[in-house]
Amino acid sequence: MRFTPALFEHAEDALSAILTFEYPADAVLSHYFRNHREMGHADRGFVAEACFSTLRRLRSLSARCPDDQSRKLLLAAMFCLRGWNLKQMAPVLNDHDAEWLAAAKAMPTEDWPMAVRCDLPDWLFERLSARYPGEIEVLAAALNRPAPLDLRVNSLKATREDVLKRLRADGIAADPCIYSPLGIRLEEKPALSRHPLFLDGSIEVQDEGSQLLGYLVAPKRGEMVVDFCAGAGGKTLLLGAMMRSSGRLYAFDVAEKRLANLKPRLARSGLSNVHPVRIESENDIKVKRLAGKLDRVLVDAPCSGLGTLRRNPDLKWRQSPESIAELTAKQAAILTAAARLVKSGGRLVYATCSLLTEENEDVVTAFLAAHPDFSLLNAHEILSRQGIDLGDETALRLLPHVHGSDGFFAMAMERK
């Protein structure tokens, strides 16, 4: 990749479109790249990384910049955060840029409010500080770093040891994940879409934290299971493999497009027990027909996604207290509807990739108060029986600065 004014202009245009916060940043970038097919792989990588590193540190960068122009935010990110020097940046600098950039880099940050230093909006900083007192700075630092690339081995097709051997033989640095028995973490982010292990369904890209949700559901062979908010099906595929492709596994989602994205992954996986079903809402007749028949139900509820800021840094600027309130109402309705499917003695798992109490404990506490026929299970005991040690909490709680995964929350319940 050769750094040119034209390449920088692409980054500036893409960032300007993202900063309207009308659409998710990754969707804006995909749209931009579709409209500029002349850009090569390295050029697209530069633009994406420039935009995402700016989004991660947007608040502190804004404090350094004379104004919030996309151009100046990008220059400040390159010079103050990413270690570029003025000689490298010379093709895109104007007469006075060197002067204000030097002042921006020398700015004393110790006088900034903590929320600015943590690159969080005030409302989110307040909530996370209250929930994780004494940890907010290390938590924010972890959320502001790019996420590693994690893989999950498809146990129907390969063992983790065999996959690790093959990746290393191909020059891809890889290590077993600490917690997930099927997880592999890569040192870098190679393109895997044409790798034989990906093409034959032996591996899938999936964060280690997301993998652990499957072990909390812990489905058995021959059971009837529902992934209630399946999305593109990462957890569905794990559940199917844990069931050894037996029994019946429904993948429910309201979005046809997300379920369509599951189909090629399903074809590669070798699973024959998965049944994708589009539903209109949590109260769809297709859902009601299964009332009281399911052994396990996973509700990975629509949420703020604030545990995934390493991957989706725009979410902290796009979410608000109002959007959180709307989400918690939706989460409560979905959990109530999904619970009707669980048979006596069956398991219900509620999960989010949020760090907020309102979306997590509060939703489960309210549900249990209204549904005395459900009782809480101990997540630590469920996971430790499968050789996974995450401490002794009743809930599964994953934090990027502690576990190195995305932020996840989950609680398991049983119908009495």
pLDDT at 334 over 80: yes
Give every CB contact of residue 100 below 8 A, 6+ residues apart in sequence: 66, 72
| Cβ contacts of 240-244, under 8 Å, gap ≥ 24 | 240/269, 240/271, 240/273, 240/274, 241/154, 241/155, 241/156, 241/269, 241/271, 242/155, 242/214, 242/218, 243/219, 243/273, 244/156
Question: Taking residues 31-46, what's their average pLDDT?
Answer: 94
> CB burial class (10 A; 0-12, 13-18, 19+) of residue 187?
exposed
pLDDT digits (tens, 9 = 90+) for 135-153: 999 999 999 999 999 999 9
pLDDT digits (tens, 9 = 90+) for 160-194: 999 999 999 999 999 999 999 999 999 999 989 99
pLDDT digits (tens, 9 = 90+) for 76-130: 999 999 999 999 999 999 988 999 999 999 999 999 999 999 999 999 999 999 9
Q: Are 1 and 43 in contact (CB under 8 A)?
A: yes
Mean pLDDT of the chain: 95
Give the domains, in start order, of the chain with CATH numbers.
5-112 (no CATH), 149-205 (3.30.70.1170), 208-415 (3.40.50.150)
> What does the pLDDT read at residue 161?
98
Catalytic (active-site) positions: 353
Burial per residue of 399-411, b for 16 or more beta-carbon CB atoms within 10 angstroms, e otherwise: bbbbbbbbbbbbb
pLDDT band at 332 (very low <50, low <70, confident <90, very high): very high
> What does the pLDDT read at residue 229?
94
> What does the pLDDT read at residue 66?
79
The one-letter amino acid at 242: M
Question: Taking residues 131-137, what's their average pLDDT?
Answer: 94
Q: How far apart are the first and last CA of the chain?
A: 61
Q: Are 126 and 119 in contact (CB under 8 A)?
A: no
pLDDT band at 357 (very low <50, low <70, confident <90, very high): very high
pTM: 0.94
> What does the pLDDT read at residue 2?
82
List Cα–Cα distances, 116 to 120, 352, 376, in angstroms. Answer: 6, 26, 39
Separation of alpha carbons 132 and 303, rounded Å = 19
> What does the pLDDT read at residue 119?
98
pLDDT digits (tens, 9 = 90+) for 185-231: 999 999 899 999 999 999 999 999 999 999 999 999 999 999 999 98
pLDDT digits (tens, 9 = 90+) for 16-35: 999 999 999 999 999 999 99
pLDDT band at 244 (very low <50, low <70, confident <90, very high): very high
Q: Are 313 and 55 in contact (CB under 8 A)?
A: yes
> What does the pLDDT read at residue 191?
87
Q: Are 132 and 104 in contact (CB under 8 A)?
A: no
pLDDT at 284 over 80: yes
Roughly what angle, to the nearest 10 degrees, separates helices 41-56 and 25-35?
Answer: 150
pLDDT at 1 over 80: no
Separation of alpha carbons 281 and 163, rounded Å = 39
pLDDT at 285 over 90: yes
